[in-house]
Structure 1
Amino acid sequence: MCSGSRQGVTDRANDFGSYDWFVAKAEALLTPLAELMRDGDSVIPIDGPPSDHGEMADRLESVARPMLLAALWLGADRDPTRPMLDADRLATWFRSAIELGTDPASGGYWGNLSNHHQHAVEMAIIAMSLGIAGPALWEPLADDTKRRVAAWFAQIRGHAGYRNNHLFFDVLVLEFLHAIGESRPGDDEAIDHLMRQLESMHMGDGWFIDGTNETYDHYNAYAFHTYGLYWAHAFGRRDPERVARWRTWASSFLADYAHCFASSGEPAPIGRSLTYRFNGVGVFALAFLNDIDSVKPAVACELCARCIEFFTSRPIGQSQGCLSIGWTDEFQGIREPYSCAGSPYWSAKGFFMLALGRDHAFFTSPATQLPADGPFTRPIRTPGWVVRSVGGGEVEIVNAGGVCSPGAAARFGSWRWGRQAYRTGVGVLIAPKAEVTPPDLALVARTADGKEAYDRVSTIPARLDSEMAQSFFALGSKATGFHVNVESRVAWNGDWLLLAFRVTPQQPAILTFGGFAIADGSGDVSSDGVAVVSGRDGRQAVLQALDGFETIDVLKRSPDAPRQHLYTDDHAVATASTGELSEPATLVALVYAGTDEAAAAPWSVETIGDGEIRLTHATLGEWSVAGLVP
């Protein structure tokens, strides 16, 4: 079983990470939901905000996503000697909900599917749930109910879906219909077509771009590979060649992805749908259902347990005790337009280890460490990332890639993928609107009058190795014609990042770069132009401008402004800005975040120019970087 000794997690008397530990965690999440279930209802009345999909979709989501969690728990090898939820009552309620929800004559009807509708997502979740817990949820249904469920699912044939990971939802529903004897001529060809479309999104080494969103983030884990490995395990015997391909991709991806979690279990906060919290770890368990061992069982168990514990040990419940929208607490500001009260229960996918037997090596292997428990630097070419360990068991994604389509930028904000780095243990700022760019770890160009601001939307990675990350991007907009070309180079030393930008403005522009945003922080700027922000937890952030910047400031949330920090209500962040630039210029800055006060001291500049920077530090010694200054 997993180790009982690790950073940030208390000892659980050797129970931590056992099969029964995961069962109990799932049950604890189900308990407040069970208390809300009422006989004769087909939805769970979870309090929370609406999505932009409409009330009918939100109602369905409130039952479909918890159903997956319930299915994994119901299908688990539970210890009958331990007190637990009433499994029979839970299964009975969900069967009744299925019967009512798929009956058009019922007042609890879940509604019809239409083109580009959210119902396709929830249909697939229900199909997965029925497959996972068939003896509890599917087999006891009456034959006429089964036929009605099949007719409801059949609406998915030929419907217009989004060309991204959503294509998997059609695949999973059509495969379920085939499994229960309700397929139609042409379904196999449709599945093949959809899978080929999904495979066209594979960019290499197991990494997928999310279709028309054009983004790389945790959707690789909890969408492409979770659905891909579930499909391979449940239905892949009909297409062994495709199964082998998806398993090979997953093996490569998981070897990379295991490095994206801190020693605490926190995932790096990059991308959208952060409110799904720990749902990305389920793919590590699904790997073993597919005979994939690129991440060893003990490491996978430790990672899953630490990630689930990281979140569930914090106040992530809302007023009813159900999962809230947020990260380490309830934070509505993190919500995308498509999220509603039931959305956080996508985290159910984090419990696929319950589908493994309790005697599986996942649970019985000797304790081990995570990659973040030791030093590493891992370039990942396809997304354009260098993932590395930093102090205190944290990890950082140095982001020399990052692509965001115009549609995704307008709907979600390009800053979710466009920062220079994403580090655990620090958090990020979440803008109140998609078009507003938070300053932390972002290079932002403003028009000379300050009325327009632009951040990264598409980045081309160049050099990517254990010492440096180089990339090219442009800041601006077709609508305004504003354009600034940027060449970015980033080097690192412990908890420090050294960044150099070669900027070429096509119109007068002001460039601003921000340091790490510190929760509950306050700070000031020293006489020698170094900004220091300190938080209540002993964490510090430092911004030291070396070349090209004219002013440094510390921005703190005003009392009447909405919350922006991922962790807490208040924050402070240091920024450095240029004057108005009309000619090419080189900007160089150092940023730090950590808890080592001696390491946080500023650097002395020995040489800057001629392609080299040489620095000295009272604690860290000399640091010389060639090729950093463009």
Structure 2
Amino acid sequence: MTAVEDRRLSPYTGWTREHYAALADRLLAAAGRHRSPAGARIDLPGPASRNGRVSDGLEGFARTFLIAGFRVAGEGGADPGGVLEHYARGLAAGTDPASPEAWPRPDELGQAKVEAASIALVLQLTRPWLWDRLDDVVRERVVAWLATVIGQPYPPINWVWFRIVVESFLREAGGPWSAADIEEDLAVHASLRRPGGWLSDGDERAYDHYTGWALHLYPLLWTHLFDVTGTLCPGSLRHRWGADLREYLDDAVRLVGSDGSPLLQGRSLVYRFAAAAPFWAGALTGTSHLSPGLTRRVAGGMVRHFGAPGDLLSLGWHHAWPAMRQAYSGPGSPYWAAKGLLGLALPAHHPVWTDVEEPLPIETGDVARVVTAPGWLVSGRRRDGIALVVNHGTDHARPGDPRADAPLYARLGYSTATVPPRGFVPDNTVVVLDAGGRASHRAGFSTCYATELPGGVLAAASQGRVRWVDTAGDDSPDHGSGRSGPVVPGPVLTVASVVRWGVEVRLARLDGAPAGPVRLSGWPVSHATRPVTEPGVAAARTPQLRSRVRPLRGFTTADVAVETGTSPLGEWTAIPYVATEGPPGAVLAAIVVLDRGGPDEPDPSLAIAEDGHGGHRVTLTWPDGVTAEAALPAAAS
């Protein structure tokens, strides 16, 4: 039976707990049709990952096991679909070395380290209804398989939590574990903490959804589900993590559009509504300051945004899009979206299900916020419902890194309505063109500042030496960073952004050796049909979106690049841009806008002055009298 929308309880989405439960049941039923004979693998259709089909089958098992675990836990052990029995069979076969469906061990295959954590987490969550009812021989085999994580090397990123979770389960199951491993992994987690409750997924400036669906999720679930009191996790650490999550969620709730879309930025976007996981984790562990009604609105809105998917989750966004695959992506990978259904572990009488939905911040007013750690200016207008960030601090690199830009990290802008296309003209950039028309790269830049000015004006700037990189010979696995290759260095580029009313004034200056023309591009808009453009105007429009770049200073040409087959959001993509005809003058400026139409905001006037130290001060004055000053700092020596 199809659940009926309830617009009294859920005035924004219409969805109740029954809708999420029905979605979980559909996903489990569809995946279950691809279960291997002994139940140890979910062999989903699609191209294999670099780890091979056996690993992909384990991934399908472990990630759908999350859905089953949340579903049964929220029902207090009731399992009318009998899903735990299927997974019990799979556990018995997968951990049996003599079985033709034996799983690769975590000490044999890195991906098994990831999936082991999902298995251990669900075994702990559903312990009375599954683990405690397994045969002793099966429990011994599961412990032996999980125990191969002990002492193994783990990359110093979110992966350390996979070992913490597994060894914590082993500890409570009476198996072997290593206090030294957990202490080492907790030290890595501490090194990833950044201001404002944010965490970087490694020592690079890798800010993305892993902050929420991994680096906040696992610590909070660890302290909630496992007995880690005392030396493993002193109370002060638990309080710190809770405070980190609260600060992070206060930012993250502003990074969701009114249509429920999460920000399209960073790697592993095929996990889709897994971005809802930290909101549910806050409710489940009692650490969130968001009200239950707002929690359901933001987390549930993300789940609902992807609608009622077909039988299977594909490698893509709303539908299959093979170009979104990364080296580690297999047919089972999208089922990490299961984390976005964590709320089902909360019983039906919990306030997150019974309270009335409350509006998102972008549904009650315009949003303007500086997020220091990733160097983001977060902005959005209520009339458009699009959350966007202007980026001056994230590139999945370190300052001075010589690699090419990673499109999902190093662009100047990301939003809930656009995604960087895989075409020839990069969106949201300021680039220098060489003699062959190649665009320069900016990854490895340094953040100069990110601040809020009087009048609700946001400002940020970044600077670094651009370069041209020949990446043709780099066939390394795609894990988010930019590609490597022979480098031709270019001039120092300083870019500043001033944002008001959701509109960016983008400023740029080049210092150093003579360079070619400069091109400044805006937001990419995609649709099933060709966007509307005009000759000589840097503007494009679809039925839902409008992207414009208006030159203010130094640019002499305007155009739109139109491409096909380069975006998961539509067959056609248009990117407006302005350019200089040759090497530019001192300071360039343009207005960059993404909206859904409506009246244009008035442009500010510019007054530019040298600061006496090799830099410039730019004063912007809007017709209503609001004035803001932004700096283009002198080029670093």
1:426-451 Cα offsets, whole Å, 9 max, x none, are x122327xxxx752112223333334
2:432–2:515 Cα contact (<8 Å) kept: no
2:294–2:359 Cα contact (<8 Å) kept: yes
Q: What is the aligned counterpart of 1:337 among 322, 327, 338?
A: 327
Cα 1:605–1:279 change in 2 (3 A) is closer
Query: RMSD of the alignment, in Å?
Result: 3.0
Aligned to 1:578: 580
Whether 1:424 aligns to 2:425 is no
1:216-275 Cα offsets, whole Å, 9 max, x none, are 111110010011111111223342332222112112211221111111111111111111
1:329–1:567 Cα contact (<8 Å) kept: no
2:213–2:275 Cα contact (<8 Å) kept: yes
Aligned to 2:462: 472
Q: Distance in 2 between matches of 1:539 and 1:6?
A: 30
Cα 1:229–1:7 change in 2 (3 A) is closer
Aligned to 2:86: 93
Whether 1:542 aligns to 2:542 is no
Q: Distance in 2 between matches of 1:92 and 1:7?
A: 34
Aligned to 2:63: 65
Give 1:446's aligned amino acid: L
Cα 1:622–1:530 change in 2 (3 A) is farther
Give 1:492's aligned amino acid: V
Whether 1:371 aligns to 2:353 is no
DSSP-derived class of the 1:482 partner: strand
Aligned-residue sequence identity (percent) comes to 24
Shift of 1:608: 4.8
2:497–2:505 Cα contact (<8 Å) kept: yes
Q: Distance in 2 between matches of 1:510 and 1:116?
A: 48
Aligned to 2:571: 569
Shift of 1:467: 1.2
DSSP-derived class of the 2:460 partner: strand
Normalising by structure 2, what TM-score?
0.86
User: Within 5 A, what are the aligned runs for 1:13-32?
Assistant: 16=15, 18-32=16-30
2:422–2:566 Cα contact (<8 Å) kept: yes
Q: Distance in 2 between matches of 1:47 and 1:448?
A: 45
Give 1:228's aligned amino acid: P
DSSP-derived class of the 1:491 partner: strand
Aligned to 2:473: none
1:504–1:584 Cα contact (<8 Å) kept: no
Whether 1:254 aligns to 2:249 is yes
Whether 1:504 aligns to 2:511 is yes
DSSP-derived class of the 2:587 partner: strand
Give 1:43's aligned amino acid: R
Aligned to 1:107: 100
Q: Distance in 2 between matches of 1:343 and 1:72?
A: 18
Aligned to 1:596: 597
1:208–1:216 Cα contact (<8 Å) kept: yes
Q: Distance in 1 between matches of 2:556 and 2:10?
A: 41
Q: What is the aligned counterpart of 1:217 among 199, 208, 216?
A: 208
Cα 1:32–1:322 change in 2 (3 A) is same
User: Within 5 A, what are the aligned runs for 1:92-241?
Assistant: 92-114=85-107, 117-184=110-177, 187-235=178-226, 236-238=228-230, 239-241=233-235
1:415-466 Cα offsets, whole Å, 9 max, x none, are 21112221222x122327xxxx752112223333334632334441403214
Number of aligned residues = 594
Give 2:589's aligned amino acid: V
Aligned to 1:403: 395
Cα 1:179–1:606 change in 2 (3 A) is closer
2:402–2:487 Cα contact (<8 Å) kept: no
Cα 1:7–1:628 change in 2 (3 A) is farther
User: Within 5 A, what are the aligned runs for 1:434-473?
Assistant: 439-451=426-438, 453-465=440-452, 466-473=456-463
Deviates more, 1:155-164 or 1:366-375: 366-375
Unaligned runs of 5+ in 1: none
Aligned to 1:522: 531
2:521–2:577 Cα contact (<8 Å) kept: yes
Shift of 1:410: 10
Q: Distance in 2 between matches of 1:334 and 1:461?
A: 32
Normalising by structure 1, what TM-score?
0.87
1:115–1:161 Cα contact (<8 Å) kept: no
Whether 1:244 aligns to 2:247 is no
DSSP-derived class of the 1:453 partner: coil
DSSP-derived class of the 1:574 partner: strand
Cα 1:286–1:179 change in 2 (3 A) is same
DSSP-derived class of the 1:87 partner: coil
